[in-house]
Amino acid sequence: MANLELKEYNQQTSTTKTRLSWLWSEYSVIIAFLIIFIAASIMSPRFLDINNQLNILMQVSIIGIVALGMTVVMLSGGIDLSVGSVLVLVGVISVLALNASGSIFVAILTALAIGSAAGFLNGLMVAKGRIASFIATLGMMAGARSIALYIAEGGSVSGKVSGFTAIANSDLWLIDYPIIIFLIMTVLVYVLMHKTRFGRYVYALGSNEKAALLSAIRVDRVKLGVYSLAGLLVSVAAIIETSRLNSISSSSSGVQYELDAIAAVIIGGTRMTGGRGKIIGTFFGVLILGILNNMMNLMNVSPHLQGFVKGLIIIVAVLFQKRE
């Protein structure tokens, strides 16, 4: 009788541990977000101010959009180091198109075309050239920044159409347009990755590329689509970035955006090896980074240490992934 009760107890304990493990695996980023949010609220009374909350969302909107594209790339088993440089190149060329045509519509179309083309070229090198994504996008990072510096002569370019600034500096019911665009992009990418065949193919590719090939999935086309989508999302972020100040610097804009995007994706639970992760995880990962940056600013932490904090967070997040 005692042995039977002990066996039942062990089974219940095992079941409880399994459930807790599943809960942590599925919702760890949300739990981490709540803990950090509560801690920030206790540490600084100013944190809960509605204007500060909207400011956090505004600050993370650009990186958030870039991180959505990075998530898709990393789910496929790749990585994109060129996002910051491509953003600058898109911004510089779109401002020149804006000034030359006087049309905001033409500037937006130009931005979307350049970003998608850069992403497609990344995908072409990875899919057809069989170049490792790290190397291919590293080359694009250097090349895109160099072209932007050449076109802008190492300086900034400014828009001459005043209405262009309305994209990033207007609001709807006190919510700034960049925040709304970020939320819309999150929903669209979520639907694409979790409700469509393309999304299933990306997960299959990241889990096992050889198995995906044997399953008659056109891996090369999926890779081209993945990197093109990432480039398209970078161009959306570039439009917002350029519109905010009606100018863009070829030397300083977009610097370390790839680090911020990768940090948000990894914190959100996407594995570096691909095949596992969620768009909603990246969304909360972006918010966690935004809260941490905001808290460091409120507490007057040196900006030179903020990169160290991000790097530490990436390492800790990867360590937790390895333990799952």
pLDDT tens-place string over residues 71-86 = 999 999 999 999 999 9
Q: Residue 28: its pLDDT value, please? A: 78
Are 29 and 264 in contact by the 8 Å Cβ rule? The answer is: no
- Kindly state the greatest CA–CA separation across the chain: 87
The answer as to whether 78 is a domain residue is yes
Who's near 178: CB < 8 A, 6+ residues apart? 58, 61, 62, 168, 240, 244
The answer as to whether 301 is a domain residue is no
The answer as to whether 35 is a domain residue is no
Tokens matching residue 261: 């995007």
Mean pLDDT of 271-284: 88
The answer as to whether 74 is a domain residue is yes
Are 260 and 286 in contact by the 8 Å Cβ rule? The answer is: no
Tokens matching residue 126: 């990875």
Q: Give the tens place of pLDDT for each residue, 105-147.
A: 999 999 999 999 999 999 999 999 999 999 999 999 999 999 9
Of 232, 161, 193, 225, the residue nearest 71 (C-alpha): 193
Tokens matching residue 199: 């999304």
Q: Residue 308: its pLDDT value, please? A: 80
The answer as to whether 161 is a domain residue is yes
d(CA 265, CA 262): 5
Residues 189, 283, 50, CA angle at the centre, nearest 5°? 125
The answer as to whether 162 is a domain residue is yes
The answer as to whether 267 is a domain residue is no
Q: Residue 147: its pLDDT value, please? A: 95
The answer as to whether 238 is a domain residue is yes
HEC profile of the chain: CHHHHHHHHHHHHHHHHHHHHHHHHHHHHHHHHHHHHHHHHHHCHHHHCHHHHHHHHHHHHHHHHHHHHHHHHHHCCCCCCCHHHHHHHHHHHHHHHHHHHCCHHHHHHHHHHHHHHHHHHHHHHHHCCCCCHHHHHHHHHHHHHHHHHHHCCCCEEECCCHHHHHHHHCEECCEEHHHHHHHHHHHHHHHHHHHCHHHHHHHHHHHCHHHHHHCCCCHHHHHHHHHHHHHHHHHHHHHHHHHHHCEEECCCCCCCHHHHHHHHHHHCCCCCCCCCCCHHHHHHHHHHHHHHHHHHHHCCCCHHHHHHHHHHHHHHHHHHHHHC
Domain count, the chain: 1
Give the relative orientation of helices 177-195 and 219-245 as an angle to the nearest 10 degrees.
170
Of 126, 275, 122, the residue nearest 202 (C-alpha): 275
The pLDDT of residue 318 is above 80: no
Query: Residue 4 — very low, low, confident or very high, per pLDDT cuts 50/70/90?
Result: low
What amino acid is encoded at 165 in this protein? Answer: T
Residue range(s) defining the domain that contains residue 245: 64-255+272-280
| pTM of structure | 0.89
Sign of CA dihedral 117, 122, 123, 127: positive
Q: Give the tens place of pLDDT for each residue, 219-253.
A: 999 999 999 999 999 999 999 999 988 889 888 88
Who's near 41: CB < 8 A, 6+ residues apart? 47, 48
d(CA 185, CA 4): 55
